[in-house]
């Protein structure tokens, strides 16, 4: 009897054994200003004292993608692209208002795919861009009601200065939103743990932190990690030499903060804040990162305490980079390395324990196929050129080969883009940019939206070529240098050929679609 019982249970046990949970952690506006990113390859200097012990520890047991690039350096377009596994010219999401299911297609998202595969899919905080841009957090993606921090409005109201260090007493009265999200995450993990451990139902839990997005609000004790004398100005507070004007973006959101309005700074090109303002903002940004690091530590400790760590995939990324006064620029919304380069790491139990560092070029659209493969769900097929009617497909590449061989190039270049409005109320110019091993190359081309959604390469508004071998900070645009003419020509061809031609690892059946 006993033996028969066991045998009949075995297939179920085996099935459940293979079902890994997913903890999906997201930070807002966090560039790779993290201890685990120290090294020669990061173009901008990382503050030497970054205090990020929890994210660093996660990196030490993860596949750490040191050169991962977002597809568009602003919240909703970047998140929509990652969550659907498709690029902005397919999602048609370039702004903070439009919803991809209305104008791109009825695409399956990462949490939705896990939900369809029998997972309990729970989201909280900022995963999709809130409001209209996601039809209020894309309800179809989740199997439980979505959670937002009750105190969010209190702390992001326009009356809050660009940064603020909050005292313990004040935090007790009005807990910071990210603390409320963390408490919720821990509660949710407790609730989903029994079913996950018994093998009844695995979970996909997505936790989206709001910081280090503006305003930089954090517990005052975080300042102790960043003594004032350790904070320095960037050494390139000027726009790149020969930069076309269209590459520039004035960060009006920062200027509108009440404390900075008083400074009477226009923030036009080569006009920057007084030094003390820049130093204070940098210190506050670093402190906000350490705040999020401490919260990520709490969530990961809870996962451990619940005995779930050894069967839970943990992914972490920041939705795009951020300019912290370099080039005299602030915020995101550009095609510079600082805005397009963002942190990404994936812990897969039993596969990444020793820590795997890859410096290969990777893209945020790669996360969807990677998580699907790591969790052993059906792999995603490569999207054909037009995929508006295809609910599930991918425009990225699974990063799993990097676990076995972190030095396998998967693509020749990483692609990003950023739109602009030139004398118009709609996006009519698109900056297409590409990071190769040695260069960043950008063409700002005339762009048509619906129904074509594409560039006219014959009408250019600016070209940029930065040589990362000699100029990792992107201070000199070489596009017009005669000594770079040949390189420019070949980079231009490569950019216009697009991401499909840059993919290196191809399974035979894909060659048709890649074209
Ligand atoms: C979108 O796709 C989902 C399944 O992925 C389906 O349930 C839903 O009805 C579709 N919505 C529309 C408007 O077609
Ligand atoms: C900001 O203003 C709102 C609305 O007037 C108020 O409720 C809130 O307490 C203020 N927040 C802070 C941090 O002062
Ligand atoms: C900004 O400063 C750089 C470096 O000094 C200079 O090359 C560039 O022409 C300036 N741009 C503008 C618009 O003033
Ligand atoms: C602010 O800037 C404007 C334009 O440059 C100038 O006219 C005005 O005097 C400045 N005000 C102060 C308080 O510096
Ligand atoms: C995972 O951890 C739990 C609790 O610590 C333990 O019972 C189980 O054997 C572990 N599983 C694996 C595959 O290591
Ligand atoms: C998508 O489906 C709709 C309705 O079936 C059809 O009218 C449209 O032509 C299709 N579009 C593409 C690009 O296949
Ligand atoms: C935009 O308008 C300005 C002012 O009318 C004009 O000088 C400029 O050439 C226009 N730019 C483009 C790209 O049409």
CATH at residue 476: 3.30.1120.10
For residue 194, the tally of other CB atoms under 10 A from its CB is 11
For residues 270 and 390, membership in a common domain is answered with yes
Nearest ligand to residue 139 Cα? 1
Expressed in angstroms and rounded, the spacing between residue 164 Cα and the centre of ligand 2 is 13
Which tokens sit at 436? 């190769």
Task: Give the span between the Cα atoms of 54 and 296, in whole angstroms.
Answer: 7
Which tokens sit at 401? 């080969």
Of ligand 7's listed atoms, the one at least distance from the Cα of 461 is 13
* 3 found inside a domain: no
Nearest ligand to residue 263 Cα? 4
Expressed in angstroms and rounded, the spacing between residue 389 Cα and the centre of ligand 6 is 6
Q: Is the CB of 241 under 6 A from ligand 3?
A: yes
Strand 362-363 to 68-69 pairing: parallel
For residues 268 and 351, membership in a common domain is answered with yes
For residues 496 and 375, membership in a common domain is answered with no
For residues 334 and 346, membership in a common domain is answered with yes
Q: Determine the Cα angle at 176 with ends 72 and 110, to 5°.
A: 40
Predicted confidence at residue 13, as pLDDT, reads 42
Strand partners, 120: 203
* 2 found inside a domain: no
Domain boundary among 385, 412, 439: 412
* 221 found inside a domain: yes
Predicted confidence at residue 69, as pLDDT, reads 98
Q: Is the CB of 310 under 6 A from ligand 5?
A: yes
Q: Which of 364, 357, 363 is nearest to 60 (CA)?
A: 357
Domain boundary among 412, 428, 463: 412
Q: Is the CB of 379 under 6 A from ligand 5?
A: no
Do 322 and 73 meet the contact criterion of CB atoms below 8 Å apart? no
Query: What domain range includes position 160?
Result: 20-412
* 12 found inside a domain: no
For residues 430 and 332, membership in a common domain is answered with no
Strand 21-27 to 312-318 pairing: parallel
Helix (H) or strand (E) holding 125: strand 120-125
CATH assignment at residue 61: 3.40.720.10
Q: Which of 9, 59, 77 is nearest to 419 (CA)?
A: 77
For residues 174 and 234, membership in a common domain is answered with yes
**Nearest C-alpha to atom 11 of ligand 5 is from which residue?**
310
* 313 found inside a domain: yes
Q: Is the CB of 453 under 6 A from ligand 3?
A: no
Task: Give the span between the Cα atoms of 199 and 497, in whole angstroms.
Answer: 46
Q: Which of 386, 293, 393 is nearest to 343 (CA)?
A: 293
Assign 46 to helix, strand or coil.
coil
For residues 420 and 401, membership in a common domain is answered with no
3-state secondary structure string, 16-58? HHCCCEEEEEEECCCCCCCHHHCCCCCCCCCCCCCCCHHHHHH
Expressed in angstroms and rounded, the spacing between residue 215 Cα and the centre of ligand 2 is 13
Do 95 and 77 meet the contact criterion of CB atoms below 8 Å apart? yes
* 419 found inside a domain: yes
Task: Give the span between the Cα atoms of 216 and 257, in whole angstroms.
Answer: 11
| End-to-end CA gap in the chain | 59
- Going by the DSSP 8-state scheme, the letter that residue 397 receives in this structure is -
For residues 325 and 451, membership in a common domain is answered with no
For residues 368 and 419, membership in a common domain is answered with no
For residues 421 and 395, membership in a common domain is answered with no
Distances (CA, A) of 319 to 8, 68, 351, 418, 443: 46, 11, 25, 15, 23
* Residue 391 CA, distance from chain mean position: 22
Return the best residue to mutate from 83, 111, 140 for the ligand 1 pocket (most ligand atoms within 8 A of CB). Answer: 140
For residues 171 and 207, membership in a common domain is answered with yes
Helix (H) or strand (E) holding 458: strand 454-467
* 4 found inside a domain: no
Domain boundary among 388, 412, 436: 412
Q: At what angle do helices 177-198 and 275-305 cross, to 10 degrees?
A: 20
For residues 394 and 487, membership in a common domain is answered with no
* 194 found inside a domain: yes
Peptide bond between residue 369 and the one before it cis (omega within 30 degrees of 0): no
Task: Give the span between the Cα atoms of 396 and 117, in whole angstroms.
Answer: 21
Per-block mean pLDDT, blocks of 10 residues, the chain (515 long): 40 56 98 93 80 98 97 98 98 98 98 98 98 97 97 86 96 97 98 96 98 97 98 96 96 89 85 94 98 98 97 98 96 97 98 96 98 97 97 98 95 98 96 98 96 96 97 97 98 98 71 51
Distances (CA, A) of 24 to 91, 112, 181: 21, 13, 13
Return the best residue to mutate from 234, 240, 241 for the ligand 3 pocket (most ligand atoms within 8 A of CB). Answer: 241
Query: What is the domain count for the chain?
Result: 2
Q: Which of 306, 510, 323, 342 is nearest to 414 (CA)?
A: 342
Which tokens sit at 335? 């095609």
């Amino acid at each position: 009897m006993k033996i028969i019982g066991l045998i009949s249970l075995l297939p179920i046990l085996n099935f459940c054994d293979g079902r890994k949970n997913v903890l999906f952690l997201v930070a807002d506006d966090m560039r790779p200003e993290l201890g685990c990113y120290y090294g020669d390859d990061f173009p901008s200097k990382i503050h030497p004292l970054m205090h990020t012990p929890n994210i660093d520890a996660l990196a030490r047991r993860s596949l750490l993608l040191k050169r991962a690039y977002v597809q568009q350096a602003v919240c909703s377009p970047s998140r929509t692209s990652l969550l659907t596994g498709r690029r902005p010219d397919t999602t048609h999401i370039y702004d903070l208002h439009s919803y991809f299911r209305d104008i791109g297609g009825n695409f399956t998202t990462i949490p939705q795919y896990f939900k369809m595969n029998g997972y309990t899919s729970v989201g909280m905080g900022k995963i999709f861009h809130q409001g209209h841009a996601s039809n209020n957090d894309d309800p179809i993606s989740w199997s439980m009601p979505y959670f937002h921090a009750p105190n969010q409005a209190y702390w992001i109201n326009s009356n809050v200065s660009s940064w603020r260090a909050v005292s313990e007493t004040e935090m007790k009265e009005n807990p910071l939103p990210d603390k409320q999200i963390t408490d919720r995450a821990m509660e949710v993990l407790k609730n989903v743990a029994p079913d996950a451990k018994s093998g009844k139902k695995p979970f996909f839990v997505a936790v989206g932190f709001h910081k280090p997005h503006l305003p930089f609000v954090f517990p005052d004790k975080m300042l102790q990690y960043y003594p004032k004398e350790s904070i320095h100005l960037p050494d390139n507070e000027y726009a790149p030499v020969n930069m076309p004007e269209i590459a520039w973006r004035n960060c009006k959101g920062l200027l509108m903060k009440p404390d900075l309005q008083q400074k009477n700074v226009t923030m036009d090109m080569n006009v920057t804040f007084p030094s003390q303002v820049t130093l204070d903002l940098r210190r506050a940004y670093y402190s906000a990162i350490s705040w999020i690091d401490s919260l990520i530590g709490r969530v990961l400790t809870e996962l451990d305490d619940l005995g779930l760590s050894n069967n839970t995939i943990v992914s972490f990324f920041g939705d795009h980079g951020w300019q912290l006064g370099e080039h005299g620029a602030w915020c995101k919304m550009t095609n510079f390395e600082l805005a397009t380069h963002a942190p990404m790491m994936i812990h897969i139990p039993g596969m990444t324990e020793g820590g795997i560092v890859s410096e290969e070029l990777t893209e945020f659209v790669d996360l969807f196929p990677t998580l699907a493969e790591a969790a052993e769900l059906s792999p995603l097929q490569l999207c054909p050129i037009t995929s508006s009617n295809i609910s599930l497909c991918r425009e990225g590449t699974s990063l799993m080969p990097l676990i076995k061989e972190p030095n396998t190039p998967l693509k020749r270049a990483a692609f990003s883009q950023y739109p602009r409005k030139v004398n118009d109320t709609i996006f009519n110019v698109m900056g297409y940019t590409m990071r190769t091993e040695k260069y960043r190359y950008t063409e700002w081309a005339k762009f048509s939206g619906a129904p074509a959604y594409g560039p006219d390469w014959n009408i250019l508004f600016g070209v940029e070529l930065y040589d990362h071998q000699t100029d990792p900070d992107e201070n000199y645009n070489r596009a017009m240098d005669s000594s770079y003419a040949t390189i420019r020509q070949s980079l231009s061809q490569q950019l216009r050929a697009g991401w499909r031609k840059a993919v290196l690892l191809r399974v035979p059946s894909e060659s048709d679609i890649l074209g």
